[in-house]
Chain A
């Protein structure tokens, strides 16, 4: 696809079946912003040509491009999920559940909703699964083309703008994509490129070695420690260099210590056109539950462990209450060195572990209460009433 665009080669798709009118229109739409011939310069002035795209509901089964009435979908597409992304002093955390649902059926309990776009950008997607997969690939392609043409990575906000502009012509159709772009903006230097490649090697080695272990506070620390010692040193050195006195500042001040050009970013893009930059973004049917946990625990000066634990808990609580979210939780952590992926964890086990923890806590509280009353008994006169209260 990318080479095709660079060469300006357009297939003729007249003789191919149903819904492939899309590539043609998309090809027309996307070539122009990046070509520098005189004609396309004016495409920035006019809102993209809508023509009759809005009345064509792209379906699998319709082979005629009738614009009279949208073809009935064979089944309802549901958009149940919980994804979240937030920034803090040590980068960006992106987390999501892994359940793909279709009305009342779990189509896939192990889907992957967080896709890396490039070394410093991942995208959380929610909405219709097919649309998300397609648009992820399209965005990856456009980002790579930008990087090849301009010799630097497009910023997260730039990528969000690009995706928003590409989705705009499909507003009003059934395209449903709600993407959260989580990434690190930064200067592309030889050192960072080098360290990104090293990180990738380390990550592969580590993923082969580790096994899916229990979720607990211990495991949270454990998987962060999975990275090699060298890498940890590099990262801590770099974060210190980038943000010397960050921990007590509020967000705006902290972002300014990174400078305008580099730092963690989270950006939300929706197919109905909403585009938001922020510190905490959560999307999907489980997002209200996640927001409640995130708003309570988020601080700019969090450590990586705290951030990971917060993200895991937010997804866990959301999956508990929301029927359309569940199964596992994926977690990515993006820093100036690139993204790192945590092992997928099964939330069912976390649920049982939490019940055990609660039982233990109740027992401990009971013991404490008895001890306290035991002490009071000893101190007091041995009143029968205090015995009853025990």
Chain B
């Protein structure tokens, strides 16, 4: 029911996540942010079982920040991804595995942009584009067709919009809005929420 997507360009990574926090059949929140900022240039997108997502993501977040405090420099995205995977793997065979699916997106000074796909079985793969959730079944083929390694930022956003249009058309769940962020050498940039048609907010007073 939740959806994450990431697209890596030559010098940026574009990520988007839906904004719905649901509890059984009710949407409890329409503006829930599923992205966790690990450092100035690393974002962790996390979906999965209710409590596990926040618990695990915050644990990783605090540890990455602790590393910086201890050592004076930040973890690279690759290192952070491997650290996350190791923690998932350690807990996988314990009595309390974390059922979370993750995308880690970051920009490294030396290696450039990176997008890492991780799932609840602690598989890790560096990929040019990736998606999680039922929506992934609908959008991965679109990404396959139109993705090129030398996408510009505008083309990446257009590709993302194509994917979200397909979701609106064919996905049974209503996912009205998505948070979109872009990571490049200048850090994490918030972009306009998609789609542009905004979700009708509760009626406002008019006196």
B 186-203 to A, binary, CB cutoff 8 A, 1 in contact else 0: 000000000000000111
A107 to B145, CA, bound (A): 60
Contact status B23-A274, CB under 8 Å: yes
Contact status A168-B203, CB under 8 Å: no
Contact status A287-B26, CB under 8 Å: yes
The 8 Å CB contact of A272, one of B50, B66, B201, is B50
- Minimum distance in angstroms from A170 CB to a CB of chain B: 10
Contact status B51-A164, CB under 8 Å: yes
A-contacting 9-mer, from B54-62, B114-122, B128-136: B54-62
The 8 Å CB contact of A247, one of B50, B66, B202, B207, is B207
Contact status B202-A298, CB under 8 Å: yes
Contact status A276-B203, CB under 8 Å: no
A273 to B49, CA, bound (A): 8
Q: Point out the residues of chain A lying under 8 angstroms from B23, CB to CB.
A: 270, 274
Considering only CB atoms, which chain B residue lies closest to A49 in the complex?
Answer: B96
8 Å CB interface, A156-200 against B: 164, 168, 171-172
8 Å CB interface, A281-334 against B: 281, 287-288, 291, 295-296, 298-302
Contact status B51-A272, CB under 8 Å: yes
A346 to B95, CA, bound (A): 47
Q: Point out the residues of chain B lying under 8 angstroms from A276, CB to CB.
A: 21, 28-29, 32
Contact status A45-B52, CB under 8 Å: no
The 8 Å CB contact of A301, one of B52, B201, B205, is B205
Q: Point out the residues of chain A lying under 8 angstroms from B54, CB to CB.
A: 164, 273, 275
Q: Point out the residues of chain B lying under 8 angstroms from A298, CB to CB.
A: 202-203
A268 to B49, CA, bound (A): 16
A 231-274 to B, binary, CB cutoff 8 A, 1 in contact else 0: 00000000000000001101000000000000000001010111
Q: Does B63 contact A (CB under 8 A)?
A: yes
Contact status B50-A270, CB under 8 Å: yes
Q: Does B71 contact A (CB under 8 A)?
A: no
Considering only CB atoms, which chain A residue lies closest to B25 in the complex?
Answer: A288
Contact status A45-B51, CB under 8 Å: no
Contact status A47-B55, CB under 8 Å: yes
Q: Does A213 contact B (CB under 8 A)?
A: no
Contact status A274-B26, CB under 8 Å: no
Q: Point out the residues of chain B lying under 8 angstroms from A168, CB to CB.
A: 51, 55
Q: Does B94 contact A (CB under 8 A)?
A: yes
Contact status B94-A50, CB under 8 Å: yes
Considering only CB atoms, which chain A residue lies closest to B32 in the complex?
Answer: A276
Contact status A54-B95, CB under 8 Å: yes
Q: Point out the residues of chain A lying under 8 angstroms from B110, CB to CB.
A: none
- Minimum distance in angstroms from B61 CB to a CB of chain A: 12
Given known pairs A44-B62, A272-B51, the reply for A299 and B202 (CB within 8 Å) is yes
Q: Point out the residues of chain A lying under 8 angstroms from B25, CB to CB.
A: 288
- Minimum distance in angstroms from A66 CB to a CB of chain B: 15
Q: Point out the residues of chain A lying under 8 angstroms from B94, CB to CB.
A: 50
Q: Point out the residues of chain B lying under 8 angstroms from A270, CB to CB.
A: 23, 50-51
B 88-99 to A, binary, CB cutoff 8 A, 1 in contact else 0: 000100111000
A171 to B97, CA, bound (A): 11
Contact status B202-A278, CB under 8 Å: no
Q: Point out the residues of chain B lying under 8 angstroms from A50, CB to CB.
A: 94-96
Q: Does A64 contact B (CB under 8 A)?
A: no
Q: Point out the residues of chain B lying under 8 angstroms from A272, CB to CB.
A: 49-51
Given known pairs A44-B62, A55-B95, A164-B51, the reply for A299 and B203 (CB within 8 Å) is yes
A250 to B205, CA, bound (A): 9
Considering only CB atoms, which chain B residue lies closest to A171 in the complex?
Answer: B51
- Minimum distance in angstroms from A239 CB to a CB of chain B: 15
Contact status A274-B96, CB under 8 Å: no
Q: Point out the residues of chain A lying under 8 angstroms from B96, CB to CB.
A: 47, 50, 54, 171-172
Further contacts, 16 of them, CB under 8 A, given A47-B56, A299-B204, A302-B205? A45-B66, A50-B94, A172-B96, A250-B201, A270-B23, A273-B53, A274-B21, A274-B28, A276-B29, A276-B32, A278-B29, A281-B28, A288-B25, A298-B203, A299-B205, A301-B204
Sample of 20 A–B contacts (CB below 8 Å) = A45-B62, A45-B63, A47-B96, A50-B94, A50-B96, A247-B205, A247-B207, A270-B51, A272-B50, A272-B51, A273-B55, A274-B50, A276-B29, A279-B202, A280-B202, A287-B26, A288-B26, A298-B202, A298-B203, A299-B202
**What 6 A-B pairs come out closest when comparing CB atoms?**
A273-B51, A301-B205, A50-B96, A274-B50, A299-B205, A273-B50
